[in-house]
Chain A
Amino acid sequence: QKEVEQDPGPLSVPEGAIVSLNCTYSNSAFQYFMWYRQYSRKGPELLMYTYSSGNKEDGRFTAQVDKSSKYISLFIRDSQPSDSATYLCATLSGGYNKLIFGAGTRLAVHP
């Protein structure tokens, strides 16, 4: 079993839709969770960062962590074509020396 599981999609939605992206993780000791966004042929960039459980909001993006179910989510409101990218969830390893990534979900927002 992978430490971080993520459905690779692809996910296709119309402009303006609410998008929900999800990951599960296996180690209850994980505390730090991130979402990275990767445009085609580019490196990933940090989008959201959360510590432990709860919600964090930044503009149209909300990151949510539920430690009881080991589930992390990213919600995108009023999705735009410019949101079309691959979204990767990640967690900081137990040794705090590397990030462990999910497979990434490819999102396409069409006008």
Chain B
Amino acid sequence: GAGVSQSPSNKVTEKGKDVELRCDPISGHTALYWYRQSLGQGLEFLIYFQGNSAPDKSGLPSDRFSAERTGGSVSTLTIQRTQQEDSAVYLCASSLFYLAGGDTGELFFGEGSRLTVL
């Protein structure tokens, strides 16, 4: 597609349920990133993929969070046993090069998946 696509755009779930968030990056982009954006907190790095491997998953908040990428393309972020503090916008981004943004610092972001945990 022309841009980074994320689904669902909105998800309301009950505490304790599992959720899956999907990201479809720009075709040909080798690097894929997940960030979380909470009100007033800016973008918090979660995990980075180069191809199908995740060299840096240091930002995942707990073992309830996991992510995978298949075929060097689509990625899924899974949150198990959701808690209210997981409520946030989850943003996916991709870049052409393995260095964040290559020479220009440019990550291409999707519009995000807004998660609300009741």
Q: Which residue numbers of A lie inside 8 Å of B, CB to CB?
A: 4, 6, 8, 32-34, 41-46, 49, 88, 90, 92-93, 95-104
Residues of B within 8 A of A34 (CB): 101, 105-106
Contacts of A6 in B (CB 8 A): 42
Q: Which residue of B lies closest to A8 (CB)?
A: B40
Query: A101 near B109 (CB under 8 angstroms)?
Result: no
Q: Evaluate contact between A45 and B100: CB separation under 8 angstroms.
A: no
Q: Between A and B, how many residue pairs show CB distances below 8 Å?
A: 73
**What class of interface size applies to chain B in its complex with A?**
20 to 34
The 8 Å CB contact of B56, one of A41, A97, A100, A101, is: A97
Closest residue of chain B to A100, judged by CB?
Answer: B45
Set of chain A residues within 8 Å of B4, measured between Cβ atoms: 43
* Bound Cα distance A32, B91 (Å): 22
What is the interface of chain B, defined by CB distance below 8 A to chain A? 4, 33, 35, 40-45, 48, 55-56, 91, 93, 98-101, 104-107, 109-112
Contacting pair B41 A98 (CB below 8 A):
no
Bound CA–CA A76/B38 (angstroms):
26
A93 CA to B56 CA, complexed, in Å: 12
CB-based contact B100/A103 at 8 Å: no
Q: How far is the CA of A33 from the CA of B106 in the complex (A)?
A: 11
CB distance from A32 to the nearest CB of B (A): 6
| Closest Cβ neighbor of B97 among chain A residues | A96
CA distance A93 to B58 in the complex (A): 13
**Contact among A88, A95, A97 with B42 in the assembled complex (CB-CB below 8 Å):** A88
